[in-house]
Amino acid sequence: MSSIVVAGVASRDVVTPRTVEELADTVRELLGARRPFAFVGGGTQIDLGNPPKALDTIVRTVALDRVVDYIPEDQTITVEAGISLAELDRVLAQYGQMFPLDVVDRNRATVGGVIATNAYGRRRQRYGTAKDLILGVEIVRPDGVRARGGGKVVKNVAGFDLPKLMVGSLGTLGAIASATFRVYPLPAATRSAALRFDHADDVTAAAKAVLERRLEPESLALYNHDTLVVTFAGTEAGVDAQMRTLLEIAFATQGEARELTALEQESYEQRERAVRRDGAWRFRIIAPPAVRVATLGSYVAGSPLAVPVAYPQLGVALHAYAADAIPPDTPGRSGASQFEDLRRYVGSRTGGHGRLVIDAMPNWARGKIDSWGSPPPSFALMRSMKASFDPHGLCNAGRFVGGL
């Protein structure tokens, strides 16, 4: 492979180190030659972010795929960053355990990519994000120096929290070489039900009732604004009891409820993967959970390419549209201004607390529309951190918030 396109920018070269020491040597060489570089794993979120300011070399981490240490009794595992989630699943399943982060393609997605992009899906409801699972990390800094942070214990409060700093950093602070995670037992039972409603108020009431009745779903996802799919996982008795309560909630909130077969549940999960994978335009709306976030994306006039999906108790909605849903130009308006209208609309409907992140956009929009929107209040600290890690601005520079 001679070139990889990252957020619309093609690299001149691609290298694939086979060991962490080779990775460190490669980064030192690139620094010495002042060649701008970026890190890529399986490439499942390669469209995310703004175009890099410059890109000479892609450093692929997929060959760093060893299991470094695994202690099933402690429910911790240390793996290199290039291991795929599918292979990690295979290793853990031998001991009845799992890594509960959802991605679009477990065969391609790598551990390092999941950390760098802070990828998550519907099971965030129960297990959180990579920040909740990561215990330790080894990185290669942009100067080629190896560094470690965290450890192999669940509680780690001493020193600089490097593991959590790397979550969502989009490869702008260095390469993730390996990571240690907490893992979970595979549940003894899993059951799902679909609750369909005619009115948005009833959807809101049902989601609120799940909280008030102190149910603990593994996931709660809203499809196409009207169908709430709730999944419980755990012991047989616990799952059965929670399912009975959920059906009571459906009856009380005017919903049509039915339990899903395993095949039907997989069909809904495929729809969720589609909205995160397909479409020239893909974006997330993130708002406080009290906001009816699922309906905000309907401001776009075009027809969705995939069924919109929301996590109402988390305040996250996912949308996917074809390229022509927001064309480059219409009479009197540019495509960029139309999307900024949507960003302002989200802000106005959420009291300024909502934001819109663009996960993918057509090439014509690159450089015209910011993927992230306005930088957060903590941006000065983020900029200082970037300057400290990467003073020469060679490491994936420009792709992250505020051009970091």
HSE-CB at 362 with a 13 A cutoff on CA atoms is: 13
HSE-CB at 150 with a 13 A cutoff on CA atoms is: 26
Listing DSSP states for 59-90 in one string gives EE-TT---EEEEEGGGTEEEEETT-BHHHHHH
Please list the residue range(s) of the chain that carry CATH number 3.30.465.10: 67-185
Between CA 187 and CA 235 the distance in angstroms is 7
Q: 135: closest CA among 76, 192, 211?
A: 76
SS3 label, residue 49: coil
| pTM attached to this predicted model | 0.93
Angle, alpha carbons 155-157-159 (nearest 5°): 145
SS3 label, residue 216: coil
Listing DSSP states for 105-157 in one string gives -TTT-BHHHHHHHT---TTHHHH--HHHHEEEEEEE-TTS-EEEEE-SSS---
**pLDDT for residue 157:** 46
Q: Are 85 and 41 a contacting pair, CB within 8 Å?
A: no
Specify the CATH number for 271-365; select among 3.30.70, 1.10.3470, 1.10.3720, 2.40.160: 3.30.70
Neighbouring residues of 193: CB distance < 8 A, sequence distance ≥ 6: 229, 230, 243, 246, 247, 250, 257, 258, 259, 260
Between CA 116 and CA 87 the distance in angstroms is 19
Under CATH, which number does the domain 189-260 receive? 3.30.70.3450
List Cα–Cα distances, 59 to 49, 177, 240, 295, 395, in angstroms. Answer: 18, 12, 48, 40, 11
Neighbouring residues of 100: CB distance < 8 A, sequence distance ≥ 6: 123, 126, 127, 133, 184
Measured over the CA atoms of residue 364, residue 366, residue 371 and residue 373, the dihedral's sign is: negative
**pLDDT for residue 161:** 87
Q: Are 209 and 195 a contacting pair, CB within 8 Å?
A: no
**pLDDT tens sequence for the chain (404 residues):** 679 999 999 999 999 999 999 999 999 999 999 999 999 999 999 999 999 999 999 999 999 999 999 999 999 999 999 999 999 999 999 999 999 999 999 999 999 999 999 999 999 999 999 999 999 999 999 999 999 998 765 444 445 689 999 999 999 999 999 999 999 999 999 999 999 999 988 999 999 999 999 999 999 999 998 999 999 999 999 999 999 999 999 999 998 999 999 999 999 999 999 999 999 999 999 998 878 888 777 667 678 889 999 999 999 999 999 988 888 877 777 778 878 888 888 888 888 888 999 999 999 999 899 999 999 899 999 999 999 999 999 999 999 999 99
Does an H or E element contain 29, and which? Answer: helix 20-33
Please list the residue range(s) of the chain that carry CATH number 3.30.70.3450: 189-260
Check: CATH 3.30.43.10 for 5-61?
Answer: yes
Between CA 291 and CA 17 the distance in angstroms is 46
Q: 282: closest CA among 1, 5, 3, 7?
A: 7
For the beta carbon of residue 188, count every other beta carbon within 10 angstroms: 13
Specify the CATH number for 67-185; select among 3.30.465.10, 1.10.8.10, 3.20.20.80, 3.60.15.10: 3.30.465.10
Q: What is the DSSP letter of 1?
A: -
List Cα–Cα distances, 119 to 102, 112, 129, 254, 258, in angstroms. Answer: 7, 10, 8, 34, 30
Q: Are 81 and 61 a contacting pair, CB within 8 Å?
A: yes
